Amino acid sequence: MTDTDHLDELGAIKDAARRGPDPGATERQHAKGKLTARERIELLLDKGSFRETEMLRRHRATGFGLEQRRPYTDGVITGWGTVFGRTVFVYAHDFRIFGGALGEAHARKIHKLMDRALAAGAPLVSVNDGAGARIQEGVAALAGYGGIFRRNTRASGVIPQISVMLGPCAGGAAYSPALTDYVFMVRGTSQMFITGPDVVRTVTGEEITHEGLGGADVHAGTSGVAHFAYDDEATCLEEVRFLLSLLPQNNRELPPVERSGDPPDRLTEELRELVPLDGCVPYDVREVVREVVDDGECFEISEAWAANVVCALARLDGHTVGIVANQPQSLAGVLDIEASEKAARFVQFCDAFNIPIVSLVDVPGFLPGVGQEHEGIIRHGAKLLYAYCNATVPRVSLVLRKAYGGAYIVMDSQSIGTDVALAWPTNEIAVMGAEGAANVVFRKEIAEADDPEETRRRRVKEYRAELMHPYYAAERGLVDDVIDPAETRAALVSALEMLRSKHADLPRRKHGNQPQ
């Protein structure tokens, strides 16, 4: 054979690998409203940047007819490319081959790619569309999942890991996305569950559809497993690209800086009217966020789950920041179990990847109730406290309106280590609201008064004047500055610029034992 013959043979083999073994498989995938693995990678990565690895890998399993079916790639596409010019590693299950099911060779391709991503210090994106473990390969397939889980854990906090769910993900396979930083899903085609509807029906008698059990909206709004849900794959993958643009390559780098032309000292005069003076009147804190950040652009995490706290990535003067904000529009902005868990994990993520944290505080306390107490609000609330106390990135907190009780402490108060504590002149920082405090402190006097209601009103007014005026915390050094709301953006940018070179070391230890 000549060199040309060898090259022709190589080209023919690679063309066959790209097409897949079944000519009709691509049409069937498209008929379901789904793209193929290669089409998805093309949308995710910069045009022409993908370098595929192990395209010619084939399994060596025998039995159950497997020896007669040995397609190239073994049902998973692996490699690397760029997103906005920066290296990203990606693997994508090819549902056209064995339904994307994971076998030994399939798993080893993923293991090698994950090891390479960790060594290179670059993000890893998994595009999931598979039927779980390849049953014909038995325990070898299960061991393959174990290798993935171990590598997910080793890479946690070292490189960003993103799971994109574009098909079914059942059984043990669902644990890999749960170990990654962010999970994206698409409505109508993505499902995740440990046991499917048939098993649920057999064991519990409950009737439910695949979508109702583990669809995108279920996990984005009820379970909190998914952070984002979209209507189509193209939009989903474009949003993955945007998220990657906000993140550093690894935990040893800072996030990329992208100047927008939005002046760092721009006045935010609308904030003077945006937040009502009456602490009982709700408003959308996302409007505050949009007014402050560069060009009003932010990327909200888990928008539909635990809506009483907003977590978002945005830029201030071109630098990526993580924003945690109480949301008075939902449950009056109280902290409950789900909000505490959502914010805690976000704070941990930001700290792991050198992203400064800005906390916008307007919190009346923790949600009271038997259910909350019995379900462990103490340990769940402690997760957020632990995350803030453990964070070494620059931290700035701003009290917009009220901050009461233990929730004030937990929301990155000065006492737990925030670097700069700011407040608006409308702030109320106190142990509790004036009405509740007066009822406790002056309970006996009110009960014995000739006019209890008048006595209560007088004592409430007195308590508010003595202990809840906007400058009480500032007078005691618990707030560094009380600022005009119109100066909010400038004050935050200035504080973060000052903290840019912050360095803080935690005590030497293997790891902490955070609340569970």
What is the Cα–Cα distance from 88 to 103, expressed in whole angstroms?
A: 24
CA–CA–CA angle 344, 349, 352 (5° rounding): 125
What is the Cα–Cα distance from 50 to 65, expressed in whole angstroms?
A: 33
What is the Cα–Cα distance from 114 to 144, expressed in whole angstroms?
A: 13
Whether the CB-CB separation of 98 and 130 falls below 8 Å is answered with no
Whether the CB-CB separation of 273 and 256 falls below 8 Å is answered with no
Query: Active site includes 512?
Result: no
- Residue 481 pairs in a beta bridge with 422
Query: Active site includes 371?
Result: no
Active-site annotation holder among 407, 421, 473, 491: 407
Label residue 19 exposed, middle or buried (CB < 10 Å: 0-12, 13-18, 19+).
middle
- Strands 298-301, 309-316: pairing is antiparallel
List the one residue out of 374, 435, 370, 378 whose CA is nearest residue 410. Answer: 378
- Strands 228-230, 309-316: pairing is unpaired
CA–CA–CA angle 508, 514, 516 (5° rounding): 160
Active-site annotation holder among 406, 417, 449, 486: 406
| b/e per residue 134-150 (b: at least 16 CB within 10 A) | bebbeebbbebbeebee
φ, ψ at 102 (rounded to 5°)? -90, 125
| DSSP assignment letter at 137 | G
**Cβ neighbours for 504, distance < 8 A, ≥ 6 positions apart:** 392
Label residue 389 exposed, middle or buried (CB < 10 Å: 0-12, 13-18, 19+).
middle
Active-site annotation holder among 121, 138, 172, 318: 172
- Strands 76-83, 86-93: pairing is antiparallel
**Cβ neighbours for 54, distance < 8 A, ≥ 6 positions apart:** 73, 78, 109, 112
Query: Active site includes 381?
Result: no
Query: Active site includes 138?
Result: no
- Strands 161-165, 182-186: pairing is parallel
- Strands 428-430, 395-404: pairing is parallel
Catalytic residues: 171-172, 406-407
